[in-house]
A and B are shown apart, each in its own frame.
Chain A
Amino acid sequence: MKTFEKSNSFYQVFERKSGPAKEATHYCPGCGHGNVHKMIAESMEELDLTKRTVFVSPVGCSVFGYYYFDCGNFQAAHGRAAAVGTAIKRTNPDAIVISYQGDGDLAAIGTAETIHAANRGENITVFFVNNAIYGMTGGQMAPTTMIGQRSATTPLGRKEDIHGNPIRMAEMLATLPAPTYIERVAIGNSKHIMKARKAIKKALRIQAEGKGYSFVEIVSACPTGWKMDPVNARDWLVNDMLKVFPLGVFKDESDNQDEDAWKRHFEPFDKAKVDVYLDRMKSAVGEIEPTVLPEDLNCKFAGFGGQGILTLGLFLSQIGMRGGHHVSWFPAYGPEMRGGTANCSVNLSSERIGTPLVDHPNVLVVMNQPSLELFEKDVVDGGTIILDSTVVEGTPDTKRLNAVMIPASDIADEVGTPKVANVVILGALVAATDAFTPEFCESTLRAIIKKKSLIDMNIEAFRRGYDFVKKA
C-alpha cells in the first residue's frame, strides 16, 4: 500500500503560527513554496535526516519556515542565510543545513553570501525558490523578474535598458570549481514536480554523504504577486519563465566525490587541550627574576626601517619583563612613520606605566640623521643619547645630555653583520644606564633569540657595545 500524505518531517500542528488555522500554511492559494516545502520534508524523512537538520529561513514569504519543519530552526537576516548556514555547518559538521531562500534574498541582497558559500564548497544545501517577484513586500521587481513583467516597481514592465536582465544564478554558480551539484527544476506541471523531488532528495543526500555544496533552483509560482489565478500562473511559468530559466543539471560532480570529502573538521571545546595550548604561549624568558632599576627608563628608539629599531625595543622590553618590571613597547604610529623612518617608545618602570607614548625620553637611541634632528630636543635634561656614529654625523649637546657616540654599525660589521648594530646599541644602552647586569641581558637574549645559530653573534655584539661604553 502506498499512501501520499503529510510528511512526518512537518509538525503535526503548526503551533508557532499565529491565528486560528494551525494546520494550514500561511501561504496564498497556489503558492509554490508549499510544494517545495512538501518535497523537502519528504526527502528529509526518507533520508532520516530530520532530527539533525537545521533549517535556515530567509526574509521573504518563507520567513516562517520554522512554523512547519520539525527540526532545528534558524531565522536569518535578509540575504544572510548562506553565511549563517556556513557557520552552523562549520560548528557542527554532522548537522544537515538547509538554506532556503527566495530570489530577492539569494540573488539580490544576498548575492555575495550566496556566491562565496558556493565558492568555499560549503557542505550545505541551498534551495533557491525563484518566482520572479518579491512576494512578501508587495510584488516588487526581483533580480529574476522577466523582461516585460509588470511589478510594483516596474509598472510598465521590466526593461532591459533600465532594469537589467533576469539573473541566472544556477548558470553563474556552475562556473565555480567548488560546487558539487547544481540543478534547476520547476513545479509547473507534474512532470516537473517529479524531477524536482529527485533533485531535492539528491541534493540532501550529497550533503549527508559529505560530498559538498548542493544548489537546487526551483522555478516557482507566485499567483498573488503575478496577479494570476493559480492554474494560469503555472501555465505562465511553463510557457514563459522556462524560456529564460531553462531546466537542467548545470553541474554534477557527486559521482566523482569521495564520501566526506567536503566534511570540515571541528572539535568541541576541550578545556585540557586549551590549557596546554595556552601554557605553550608563555614567554621563553621563563620565570621572573626580579632586578632593581636605578631609575625608570623612558626610551625612544629611532632610525630607518630595516635597522632593527623595533627589535631593539623588543629585546630591551623582554629583558625588563624578565626583571619583573612594568614594560610597554609602542611602535611609531602617526605622521613620523613617513619618510621611511621607524621608531618605537619603550617604558620600563617599577610602577604602573601611564602613557605608553614617550614624548620626553630619558634615553634616546638615534640610528639615522633625521632622527637626531627630530628627537634630540625632546630628551630630558641629563638624559642619555646614544647614536650610531657610523651613520649619524654631528654631536649632540653634551652639556645638556649624556652622549654616547658609538660606531655601532662598524662594530657590528666586525662581529659578522651590520644587522646586529641594534644589539651593539643595546649593550651600550645597558652600560650607560646600568639598568641591568650584562650577564642578565645575555642570558635573556639566549632565551628569546629564536634562531639558535645567531645567538653567539648577538651575544658578542651586545658585549662589544657594553664594553665600548664601560671601557671608554
Chain B
Amino acid sequence: MTEKIALDVPFMEVSGELCKGCQLCLAVCPKSVIAISDKLNSASYHPAFYTGADCTGCGLCFYACPEPGAIRVVKP
C-alpha cells in the first residue's frame, strides 16, 4: 500500500497484511506521520500506514512495533 517515495528522504512503510493495528507506532511517532486505515486487512485489523511526508527516519516506530516484519524505516 506504500507508494513510490523519493529515495533521498527518510520514510517508513507498513506492511498492511502484517500490521495488527495496535497503534503503538502512532503513540511513539514524534512527527505524528502514521495513521490508521479505515479498511480491514485479511486478518481483520485496521493497519497503520505512513501519511507520506515528514518522517525523520528516527526508527522509534520500528522498535515500538511488536511485529518483526510489519514496519520498515529507511533513513538515507
- Tell me whether A and B are bound partners: yes
Query: Which residues in A have some Cβ–Cβ distance to B below 8 Å?
Result: 1-7, 10, 21, 23-25, 27-35, 37-39, 41, 68, 189-190, 193-194, 197, 223, 229-231, 234
The CA-CA distance from A310 to B13 in the complex, in Å, is: 81
Q: Is B33 located at the chain interface by the 8 A CB criterion?
A: no
Contacts A190-B63, A193-B63 given; indicate if A10 touches B22 (C-beta within 8 A): no
Q: Give the chain A neighbours of B63 by CB distance below 8 A.
A: 4, 35, 38-39, 190, 193-194, 197
Contacts A2-B75, A23-B69, A41-B68 given; indicate if A29 touches B21 (C-beta within 8 A): yes
A68 near B62 (CB under 8 angstroms)? no
Name the interface residues of B37-76: CB closer than 8 Å to any CB of A. Answer: 43, 45, 57, 59-60, 62-76
**B17-45 toward A: CB 8 Å interface, digit per residue (1/0)?**
11011111011100000000000000101
User: How many A-B residue contacts, CB cutoff 8 Å?
Assistant: 99
A2-B57, A24-B17, A29-B21 given; name 17 further pairs at CB < 8 Å.
A1-B75, A4-B63, A4-B73, A5-B69, A6-B69, A7-B68, A24-B18, A24-B69, A25-B67, A27-B66, A28-B20, A30-B23, A35-B66, A190-B60, A193-B63, A194-B63, A234-B24
B20 near A29 (CB under 8 angstroms)? yes
The CA-CA distance from A230 to B21 in the complex, in Å, is: 9
Query: Which residues in B have some Cβ–Cβ distance to A below 8 Å?
Result: 15, 17-18, 20-24, 26-28, 43, 45, 57, 59-60, 62-76
Contacts A3-B73, A4-B73 given; indicate if A37 touches B23 (C-beta within 8 A): no
The CA-CA distance from A190 to B28 in the complex, in Å, is: 7
CB distance from B62 to the nearest CB of A (A): 4
Residue of B nearest to A30 (CB): B22
CB distance from A238 to the nearest CB of B (A): 11
Q: Give the chain B neighbours of A234 by CB distance below 8 A.
A: 24, 27
Q: Give the chain B neighbours of A229 by CB distance below 8 A.
A: 23
The CA-CA distance from A37 to B70 in the complex, in Å, is: 14
The CA-CA distance from A407 to B28 in the complex, in Å, is: 95
With beta carbons under 8 angstroms apart, the residue of A2, A7, A29, A31 that contacts B59 is A2
The CA-CA distance from A447 to B50 in the complex, in Å, is: 87
Interface centre among A4, A30, A68 (most CB of B within 10 A): A4
CB distance from A36 to the nearest CB of B (A): 9
Q: Give the chain B neighbours of A30 by CB distance below 8 A.
A: 20, 22-24, 66
Residue of B nearest to A3 (CB): B74
Q: Is the interface of B mostly helix, strand, loop or mixed?
A: loop
A35 near B20 (CB under 8 angstroms)? no
Residue of B nearest to A235 (CB): B27
The CA-CA distance from A234 to B65 in the complex, in Å, is: 12
The CA-CA distance from A190 to B26 in the complex, in Å, is: 12
With beta carbons under 8 angstroms apart, the residue of B27, B70, B72 that contacts A3 is B72
A-B pairs, top 5 by smallest CB distance, nearest first, are A34-B66, A30-B22, A4-B62, A29-B20, A230-B22
12 inter-chain pairs at a CB distance below 8 angstroms, sorted by A residue, are A1-B74, A3-B74, A4-B62, A21-B17, A24-B18, A30-B22, A30-B66, A34-B68, A37-B68, A190-B63, A197-B63, A231-B27
Q: Give the chain B neighbours of A10 by CB distance below 8 A.
A: 68-69
The CA-CA distance from A366 to B24 in the complex, in Å, is: 85
Q: Give the chain B neighbours of A37 by CB distance below 8 A.
A: 68
Q: Give the chain A neighbours of B62 by CB distance below 8 A.
A: 4-5
With beta carbons under 8 angstroms apart, the residue of A6, A25, A27, A231 that contacts B24 is A231
A1 near B76 (CB under 8 angstroms)? yes
The CA-CA distance from A3 to B11 in the complex, in Å, is: 10
Q: Give the chain A neighbours of B23 by CB distance below 8 A.
A: 30, 229-231
The CA-CA distance from A23 to B63 in the complex, in Å, is: 17
The CA-CA distance from A68 to B62 in the complex, in Å, is: 17
Q: Give the chain B neighbours of A197 by CB distance below 8 A.
A: 63
Q: Give the chain A neighbours of B20 by CB distance below 8 A.
A: 24, 28-30
The CA-CA distance from A177 to B52 in the complex, in Å, is: 53
Q: Give the chain A neighbours of B15 by CB distance below 8 A.
A: 23
The CA-CA distance from A213 to B18 in the complex, in Å, is: 36
B64 near A193 (CB under 8 angstroms)? yes
The CA-CA distance from A24 to B21 in the complex, in Å, is: 13
Contacts A21-B43, A29-B21, A190-B60 given; indicate if A4 touches B72 (C-beta within 8 A): yes
Q: Give the chain B neighbours of A28 by CB distance below 8 A.
A: 20
Q: Give the chain B neighbours of A33 by CB distance below 8 A.
A: 66
With beta carbons under 8 angstroms apart, the residue of B21, B27, B59, B76 that contacts A4 is B59
With beta carbons under 8 angstroms apart, the residue of A3, A34, A39, A223 that contacts B67 is A34
Contacts A4-B71, A190-B60, A231-B23 given; indicate if A31 touches B66 (C-beta within 8 A): yes
Residue of A nearest to B29 (CB): A190
CB distance from B31 to the nearest CB of A (A): 13
Q: Give the chain A neighbours of B64 by CB distance below 8 A.
A: 35, 190, 193
A189 near B22 (CB under 8 angstroms)? no
A189 near B28 (CB under 8 angstroms)? yes
The CA-CA distance from A71 to B76 in the complex, in Å, is: 31
